[in-house]
Amino acid sequence: MVLLTSILVLAATVLSIPLVERVLGRNTGWFAAAVLAALTALIAAQAPQVLGSDEALTYSVPWMPQIGVEFHLRMDALGWLFTLLVTGVGALIMAYSTRYFPPGRRLGFYFLMTLFAFSMTGLVLADDVVLLYVFWELTTIASFYLIGLSGPGASRPAIRTFLITAVGGLALLGAAVLLVVRTGTTQLSAILADQTWTQDSTFTVLVTLLVVVAVFTKSAQFPFHYWLPDAMAASTPVSAYLHAAAMVKAGIYLAMRFTSAFGEVFLWNAALITFGLITAVIGAVFALQQHDLKRLAAYSTVSQLGFLIAVIGVGTPEALVAAAAHTVAHALFKSALFMVVGLVDHEAGTRDLRDLGGLARRMPVTAAIATLAALSMAGIPPLLGFVSKEYLFAGLLGASGGPWAGILAGAVAVGAAAFTFAYSFRFVHSAFFGEPRGERRAAQENVHEAPAAFWLPAALSALGGVVLGLAVPVLDPLVNGVAQDTTGTAADAHLLLWHGFNPELAMSAAAIALGVLLVWRTASGESYAGRSLLPVDGPSVFERIHGATIRAGRRVGDLTRTDAIAFHLGAPIVMTIVLAAAVLWIGIDLPAPAGQTSRPLDWLLVGLMGVAVLGAALTRSRLAALALIGVAGFTTALWLFFLGAFDVALTQLLVEVLTVVVAVLVLRRLPRTFHPVTRKRSVLTALIAIASGLVAGTAAFAFTGRRELSSAADYFLGNAPEDTGGDNVVNTILVDYRAFDTLGELVVLGVAGLIIIAVLRNSDLLPVHKARKPEVPVTNPVFESAPNTVLMRTVAKFLLPILVIWSLYLLARGHNEPGGGFIGGLVGGSAFALTYLAASSDAAARIRLAYPAIIGSGVLVALGSGLLGFFEGSFLLPLHAEIPLPGGDYYHFTTALIFDVGVYLAVVGVLLAALNELGLENGGTARPATPPSPPGTSEGEFPDDTAPSLEGTGATAVGVDTTTTGGAR
């Protein structure tokens, strides 16, 4: 329960930050610190059980039971150590943050910091690899945003940090997937206890490499180490918490966690020791070179992490004891040092060592804190850092792989420790002692000690190192517990400040002596600070790789990038032909046809289609092509009728008519003929076309009509009247059985209509093409458009109401007989198209209906009828009622009819949109101000709003468009 409580409390804290911050502002840190301190106490109180009885606390609840993932938490000694680190250091940093920032709102900072505390706690407690991965990535994300918060200059560092750590996240995911697939469980402790997979050396090497990448990226090991100094763009509390004490320790945690599986894998030992020591050395060397205190601390962290990784790589119980002790020591002295950096920066206004010096007189407390922490870092007795470094040396001496391996590792470690001593000295000496230097010397005279609330967290952290150094045996149960958890062997270590004359003591002495020499020879680092040791630096290498990757991607894209639509359309077609050819090459067995699939009359349609399609392909006239495609569409409708699909045939017929109407409205804005293409292209595309036709025909012949009626069809035909009260099975499928599909389709239809409107609001329609505007002399009878359209207008006047009523009738009867919302809507739309075509001029044929609203109401009506279904249990379930009619009959009413009304409205709305937007001289957008109609022209012919209003003919006389009135018919 403790585990669940901790996680839930942290989650609740994250969620409450937006409210608390509103009240407390920067002091939200007190609230977060209080929560974290309480949790620290709660966790610490578990010591007797976790450390004493060797029995881990566990909690689990199913999370994704389908794939066996559980929300599984577990706290053994290792987990206890890191949880305490996260909550304890977290509490100090949160308290420190309240004074670090100037008064004001800090929502993003506190939200992300608590989110980080939550994810980091989850990470070290997770006992499920999926959960572990999720928390791992959450820490990466929190880090990314926290770095990015520091302003525009931090965005590249944030991105670089994110990408590097994300690479590690992917590696971890890869390792997790491999392990889960191999072991069949996602529980981390079970995976680590399962020894079967470690026997397979290839598999183990693969998993080891992936885990090593995850560890190295997260814990800033060479060659990924540079992200950590880069991340110093973040504010100091962030650096202190994430990039010194907690997040970079996630890699350390992972390495320690996997020691039980990899402890004796040679690759693991070699990689960790080698790269750990390289990192320890270069981190320490670079640290001594820095002018910026914060970068010095960052490189120092890199170096210390290198020590930890190297000693974990040794894999013996003694080495893990050292790793556990040094983790504690490092968390204490490094968070204190980072807080000191913040104190100095805050009070002195700079953290550049060239502008500091002599601060001890002005800031004595800060100087004392810095000195204590630095002594621990340098490994001076009696501080905790001294003890842990002794054990580090001892651990490294035990490295396996030949008698010289331990000695070599120890020697390198002594070298790195000498530099550690030197840069620790540089940190304290250059900032706090000597005389003030640099251009800001005068300003340094006014520096004051920071307020107590500001330095107290740092002091607590630094004093922790002193207390634990003097009382170091209290750590025994912890370090032994960690050794037991990670290596499976009891270490029986007894940490002591003084444990006799032994090699480690000699090594410590050598390191300090060499360090003193180094300080003396380099004037505490000054003489070679800022000098570049390598021809390249990490961020620029990263940027070069990053840029090259993006360029490579662009180049790959260039291979196929073209604006020619034909290429994009052709590629999938050609690929389909290739696939089909492959299938034909292999050959397949086909059952015999289930019945007589062809009838003699069908050939008539084949012939008709052949003529229409051939003509459409060959003609260069747009209008002819449109007409011939229209013929193909009508032939399709006939085919559908032949196949017993009356409703579908009717729909096809209506759509075909309306397509031609809309297409004509568009074609008059375009040239008469198609754009010419080269003969070569015609031949090539004809070949592709014929091949694809053959493929499609073969496929249709081979795969269809070779089975009896499908079971779905059998069901619909057998049960439709009973289930839905409708005899028209197709319509019942549309509005009853599969109404959800129809709803989706309705939305697509509506959106298409709205997009048409939106496109034309943003770009104007082409004007009517000049070739389509014959100049007619005024004396010609054609000039007068109004008299010329009298016949059509008279017919339309009577036809319009009849068509609208008929369309409603079709809608209403659709459930039992041919009809329904689609057909009704199309007939209704045709009525408007007719009045449109009959109008005397295109400027006049305006339909004054709010068609976007009609489209929207159609979708809403359909949705609303679907919601009614909830009365009976589910969305879109039709409700039925028998309404008594005079004469004893009953009318079967179903809400499916309301749904169909929605369909009807959407179809009509889209048609109105297309006609109005595309039909007007300048499109529906740039409407010319309507001049008042001259009295007596045709006023009053159409009394209501739905009818087109007619304008005076004189104004648009020259623009009479023969296509609008003549071409469509």
Q: Restricting to residues 809-868, which ones interact with other proteins according to CB under 8 A? A: 816-818, 822
Among residues 541, 556, 581, 713, the one that binds other proteins under rule CB under 8 A: 713
Q: Which CB, 250 or 907, lies closer to other proteins? A: 907
For 678, list phi and psi in degrees, rounded to 5.
-70, 160
Closest CA to 75 of 253, 304, 333: 253
**What dihedral angle (degrees, nearest 10) is formed by the CA atoms of 341, 347, 348, 351?**
20
Q: How many CB atoms lie within 10 A of CB 598?
A: 10
Give kind and range of the element (H or E) at residue 663. Answer: helix 646-667
Nearest distance, CB of residue 225 and other proteins, angstroms: 51
The residue (of 86 and 612) whose beta carbon lies closer to other proteins is 612
- Pick the piece of the chain touching other proteins (CB under 8 A) from 75-83, 224-232, 276-284, 711-719: 711-719
Whole-number Å distance between alpha carbons of 844 and 951: 5
Distance CA(641)–CA(662), nearest Å, equals 24
Residue 720 binds to other proteins (criterion: CB under 8 A): yes
Shortest distance (Å) from residue 711 CB to other proteins: 10
Cα 830–831–834 angle (5° rounding)?
85
Segment lying near other proteins (by CB under 8 A), choices 122-130, 300-308, 744-752, 789-797: 744-752
Decide: is 905 part of the binding site for other proteins (CB under 8 A): no
Cβ distance to other proteins smaller for residue 117 or 655: 655
Question: Is residue 326 near other proteins by the rule CB under 8 A?
Answer: no
Q: Which of residues 657-686 bind other proteins (CB under 8 A)?
A: 658-659, 662-663, 666-667, 669-671, 674-678, 685-686
User: Which bin fits 956, alpha (ψ -120 to 50), beta or left (φ > 0)?
Assistant: alpha
Give the footprint of other proteins on residues 251-290 (CB under 8 A): none
Going residue by residue from 525 to 564, which x/- string records binding to other proteins, judged by CB under 8 A? --------------------------------------xx
When asked if residue 565 is in the footprint of other proteins (CB under 8 A), the reply is yes
Residues 6+ apart with CB under 8 A from 736: 720, 723, 724, 726, 878, 894, 896
Please list every residue from 177 through 206 that binds other proteins, using CB under 8 A: none
Q: Report the nearest approach of other proteins to the CB of residue 71 (Å).
A: 43
Q: Which of 523, 541, 712, 926 binds other proteins (CB under 8 A)?
A: 712
Interaction of residue 597 with other proteins, rule CB under 8 A: yes
- Which of these ranges, 74-82, 136-144, 325-333, 917-925, lies near other proteins under the rule CB under 8 A? 917-925
Among 99, 622, 772, 793, indicate the residue that binds other proteins (CB under 8 A). 622
Report the residue number, 536 or 574, with the smaller CB distance to other proteins.
574
Cβ proximity to other proteins: between 92 and 637 the closer is 637
Task: Name the phi and psi angles at 224, rounded to 5.
Answer: -100, 5
Distances (CA, A) of 444 to 101, 440, 637: 21, 6, 92
- Min dist CB 831 to other proteins, Å, is 17
Answer yes or no: are the C-beta atoms of 818 and 646 closer than 8 Å: yes
Task: Count Cα neighbours of 697 within 13 Å in the Cβ-side half-sphere.
Answer: 7
The closest alpha carbon to 486, from 292, 618, 314, 622, belongs to 314
Q: Is 959 in the site for other proteins (CB under 8 A)?
A: no
Min. distance of Cβ 685 from other proteins in angstroms?
Answer: 4
Scan residues 748-777 and list those touching other proteins (CB under 8 A): 748-749, 752-753, 755-756, 759-760, 763-766
- Residue 741 interacts with other proteins (CB under 8 A): yes or no: yes
Q: Whole-number minimum distance, CB 564 to other proteins, in Å?
A: 5
Q: How far is the CB of 592 from other proteins (least distance, A)?
A: 12
Q: Which is nearer to other proteins, 505 or 863 (CB)?
A: 863
- By CB under 8 A, the residues from 625 to 644 that bind other proteins are 625-626, 629, 632-633, 636, 639-640, 642-644
Cβ atoms 844, 950 nearer than 8 A: yes
Residue of 117, 147, 837, 910 that binds other proteins (CB under 8 A):
910
Q: How far is residue 855's CA from residue 860's CA, in Å, rounded to a whole number?
A: 9
Distance CA 340, CA 349 (A): 13
- What is residue 58's three-state secondary structure? strand
Compute the Cα dihedral for 579, 584, 590, 596 and give only its sign. Answer: positive
* Interaction of residue 45 with other proteins, rule CB under 8 A: no
Q: Which string of DSSP letters, residue by residue, matches 847-908?
A: --S-HHHHHHHHHHHHHHHHHHGGGTTSTTPPPEEEEE-TTS-EEEEEHHHHHHHHHHHHHH
Q: Residue 620 CB, nearest distance to other proteins (Å)?
A: 10
Query: How far apart, in whole angstroms, are the C-alpha atoms of residue 327 and residue 124?
Result: 14
655 binds other proteins (CB under 8 A): yes
